[in-house]
Amino acid sequence: MKAPIKDATRARTWAAAGLALALAGCATALPPVDVTRFHGDTVAQAGTIRVVPADPRDASSLEFRSTVNAVGAALRRVGYQLLDEGATGADYRAVVGFSREIVEPGQQRRSPVSVGVGGSTGSYGSGLGLGIGINLSGKPKPVVAMQLRVQIRSVREDRTIWEGRAETSAKQGSPAAQPGMAAGKLADALFSNFPGPSGVTVTVK
């Protein structure tokens, strides 16, 4: 009669071990994120804000909706009051862009997109030309390079008060390469320790 009890105990032990391994796999599935931010000496961390797409054509896409939700949640955490779409009278506007690029083994990435979502290049307030390279050596599978860009603009003054870019990459087909999971990871990293150090690239794990 004791054997079934031992078998049941052993089964529960293996099940718990399997769950622990599964959770560990989920924890390590998300790769580090490289984050670059630019801002002045002071950045407002309160007030109403509305999220808008850098490209109006992205507004109705499911991928962009996932990005908006992730960025909106991050903005609320750092102190902003998020307004619904179409609302007027916001103090700030968060201009958001999200891109995914499949890079085949041995293929070079295209020229990096500047931090400034307005399409210009330069320093704070107008964009950057910094690129985060991806080492594909020894990786037979394609890699998905993902980038989140956010620019916070003062509506009243019509100027940029903060801008940043978060980049990561994951093997194609992996959970970390899925748009929804990637958007959440990128947004969390981009707004970690907001407003963050200005003018440097840091790695957020």
The one-letter amino acid code at 106 reads G
The one-letter amino acid code at 190 reads L
Q: Give residue 25's pLDDT.
A: 42
Q: Give residue 13's pLDDT.
A: 41
The mean pLDDT values, 10 residues at a time, for the chain of 205 residues are: 47 41 45 96 91 88 88 97 88 94 70 40 37 46 92 95 96 87 95 96 95
Q: Give residue 58's pLDDT.
A: 82
Q: Are 93 and 52 in contact (CB under 8 A)?
A: yes
* Cα angle: 132, vertex 69, 39; to 5 degrees: 50
Q: What is the pTM of this model?
A: 0.72
Q: Give residue 133's pLDDT.
A: 42
DSSP string, the chain: -HHHHHHHHHHHHHHHHHHHHHHHHHHHHSPPEEEEEEE-S-----SEEEEEESSGGGTT-HHHHHHHHHHHHHHHHTT-EEPPTT----SEEEEEEEEEEEE-TTPPPPPPPPSSTTS--SSTTT----------TT--S-EEEEEEEEEEEETTTTEEEEEEEEEEEEETTSGGGSHHHHHHHHHHHHTTTTT--SS-EEEE-
Domains (range + CATH), the chain: 31-198 (3.30.160)
